[in-house]
A and B are shown apart, each in its own frame.
Chain A
């Protein structure tokens, strides 16, 4: 009964949040609802007994990927709405509905074919994280190492691609930067002027004594 309630709460909130992500005009709204939807998806993993996968989903997706998006959003102008020209919205909706049907059929096909056996059955008597570790470090060791190398390559690629010309501002106009710099120099020269005046006065007072 609790599983039923939890599943439907998670399902409705996920669909609504991802619908906002797809339909919203504002980048910040889309990103926030995407993060919320990913938290809800980790709820499904906990319901399915894949505890470790749920924790990884929370840490990697909500923690790392969405933080990366949030940092990347600093480079782009995220405050203004996105203008998009839609040429044929009905075609998009029809194709999406057809895709939904096709995927429901494809995904329900293995339920009909009952003769599938578990390749790596769930080990009895240990927690999910332990069972995952047993399979991951025996049968899937080579893909695991390859994934590590792939993440390293991706990290280097991200640093190289994003790191060029980091001192050059993208969002602020050059006029505004010039104005700010000019203003600062102006006030600095004012300060020097003031200091000179004070020094002059002190000198005159010293001479008077």
Chain B
């Protein structure tokens, strides 16, 4: 039978996939995709634990995470468009102007 541990292990795996994406991506749009994966993994964990304890707080937090993700995408894509207009590229190597 599928228990809460299955969901939590899957959530950890998906979060790690998103983390690998954040570490290896150099394109800002792809970095956004990786953060979306991480947010979704956390939502699965919230829903699974809420189901395990018969508690609705987990689902509430997942709702607010979705709201935050939606506003993050709106503002972030606006910033990406401004960056693309300024530099003509979304590559972090091109955009980075601090030495280090």
State the Cβ distance, A70 to closest chain B Cβ, in Å. Answer: 11
Residues of B within 8 A of A37 (CB): 37, 40
CA distance A37 to B13 in the complex (A): 14
Q: How far is the CB of A116 from chain B (nearest CB, A)?
A: 6
Asked if B73 lies at the interface with its beta carbon under 8 angstroms from chain A, I say yes
Instruction: Say if the beta carbon of B95 comes within 8 Å of chain A.
Output: no
In the complex, which residues 150-168 of chain A have their Cβ closer than 8 Å to any Cβ of chain B? 150-151, 153-155, 157-162, 164-165, 168
- Pair B84/A75 contact, Cβ less than 8 Å: yes
The range of chain B's interface size is: 35 or more
Q: Which of B14, B26, B48, B79 contacts A84 (CB 8 A)?
A: B26
**Cβ contact of B85, chosen from A100, A120, A155, A170, cutoff 8 A:** A170
What are the nearest 10 A-B pairs in CB distance? A161-B78, A154-B71, A103-B12, A22-B21, A96-B20, A100-B16, A107-B8, A158-B74, A118-B55, A84-B26
Range of interface residues on A (Cβ < 8 Å):
35 or more
Q: A64-B70, A65-B36, A157-B74 are in contact. Are A132 and B14 (CB under 8 A)?
A: no
Given contacts A107-B12, A121-B55, contact A57 B81 (CB under 8 A): no
Residues of chain B from 61 to 100 with CB closer than 8 A to chain A in the complex: 62-64, 66-75, 77-82, 84-85, 90-91, 93
State in angstroms the CA–CA spacing of A50 and B50 once bound together.
9
B75 in contact with A158 (CB, 8 Å): yes
Rounded to whole Å, the gap between the CB of A96 and the closest CB of chain B is: 4
- Shortest distance from the beta carbon of B70 to any chain A beta carbon, whole Å: 6
Q: Could you name 11 residue pairs across A and B whose Cβ atoms are closer than 8 Å?
A: A3-B1, A18-B18, A34-B36, A69-B29, A84-B91, A97-B16, A108-B9, A118-B54, A121-B55, A122-B56, A155-B74
| Structural contact, A22 and B17, CB atoms closer than 8 A | yes
CA distance in complex: A49, B78 (Å): 36
- A7-B73 in contact given A19-B17, A100-B12 (Cβ < 8 Å): no
Contact with A along B21-44 (1 / 0, CB 8 A): 101111101101110110010011
Distance between Cα atoms of A95 and B16 in the complex (Å): 9
**Given the complex, which residues of A lie within 8 Å of B44, measured CB to CB?**
41, 44-45
Question: Does A147 sit at the interface, judged by CB under 8 A?
Answer: yes
